[in-house]
């Protein structure tokens, strides 16, 4: 088990991109996930743009590299996927994400996990798909949402572990809206607890990568050494105007510009995968 710093903060009861958006055709090249104008730079992200593939604090690998990384999650996973793929290099990323989904949307599905994979599980707290509805047709929020996520994430992790896959649980970033603080704090507690007692399940605080050093919500952070782009003031925007996502400006998929937040979130995940 590997556990990093736990972040906490607010999360809206319902957010994310509409689950009615057509699923991406994953047979297409991953470059289709990003705007054509950005593709040239991102295709050379680690080399020509000289973005480091690991942070200085990255841990050395302790086991064989996975044959593939299965990314299971929602819109934040979708934002992160292009950077995750580029940073992982020759290790393929299997896309099992869709904006607006919750853990229950992935239960009982073939997620392409197995003894040679690492499953990265990252969910922000969506509560808007049919499997999240309660008996009265409403959707849980606050502690009720946390309780639902606890049940469903526990089942999802068991489902993935039954295939022999290692699991990496990702801690979520704080939200700008303080009204639902209990949700993100609760979800992060759940994923940390799930990484206890099984050496094949680990936790990384991905949220800390886009937060201030004191763990508070950050709109912008100082540029990283060698980052593809850097603002005139020496900082980069890491969160969207909605206070939830990471694409600078208006939330969009694919993000039409370089997303420092998505890159940082992906780097935290890649470093944790390499340390498994």
Distance CA 163, CA 202 (A): 16
54-218+260-275 CATH:
3.40.50.1110
Which residue did the predictor score with more confidence, 160 or 254?
160
Residues 45-65 have pLDDT tens digits of: 444 344 443 343 444 445 688
* Residue 105 CB-density burial (10 A; 0-12 exposed, 13-18 middle, 19+ buried): buried
What are the phi and psi torsion angles at 204 (to 5°)?
-130, 135
- Lowest pLDDT segment from 71-75, 175-179, 244-248, 255-259: 175-179
- Percent residues over pLDDT 90 in the chain: 70
Q: What is the pTM of this model?
A: 0.82
Angle CA 132–135–137, to nearest 5: 65
Chain position carrying tokens 């694919």: 254
- Helix H or strand E segment including 161: helix 143-161
248-264 mean pLDDT: 91
Count CA atoms within 13 Å of residue 41 on its CB side: 14
Q: Is the dihedral of CA 250, 251, 253, 255 positive or negative?
A: positive
């Amino acid at each position: 088990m590997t556990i990093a710093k736990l972040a906490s903060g607010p999360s809206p009861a319902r957010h994310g991109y509409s689950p009615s958006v057509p699923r991406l055709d994953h047979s297409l090249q991953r470059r289709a996930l990003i705007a054509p104008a950005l593709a040239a730079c991102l295709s050379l992200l680690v080399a020509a743009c000289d973005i480091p593939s690991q942070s200085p604090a990255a841990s050395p690998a302790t086991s064989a590299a996975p044959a593939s990384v299965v990314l299971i999650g929602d819109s934040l996973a979708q934002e992160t996927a292009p950077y995750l793929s580029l940073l992982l290099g020759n290790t393929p990323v299997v896309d099992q994400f869709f904006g607006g989904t919750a853990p229950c949307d992935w239960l009982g599905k073939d997620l392409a996990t197995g003894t040679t994979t690492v499953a990265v599980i990252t969910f922000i707290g969506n509560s808007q798909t049919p499997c999240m509805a309660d008996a009265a047709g409403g959707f849980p929020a606050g502690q009720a949402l946390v309780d639902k996520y606890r049940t469903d994430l526990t089942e999802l992790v068991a489902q993935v572990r039954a295939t022999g896959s290692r699991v990496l649980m990702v801690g979520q970033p704080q939200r700008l809206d303080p009204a639902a603080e209990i949700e993100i704090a609760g979800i992060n507690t759940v994923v940390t607890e799930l990484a206890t007692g099984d050496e094949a399940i680990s936790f990384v605080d991905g949220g800390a990568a886009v937060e201030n050093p004191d763990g508070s919500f950050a709109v912008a952070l100082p540029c990283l050494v060698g980052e593809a782009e850097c603002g005139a003031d020496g900082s980069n925007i890491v969160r969207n105007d909605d206070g939830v996502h990471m694409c600078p400006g208006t939330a969009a998929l694919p993000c039409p510009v370089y997303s420092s937040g998505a890159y940082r979130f992906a780097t935290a995940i890649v470093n944790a995968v390499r340390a498994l």
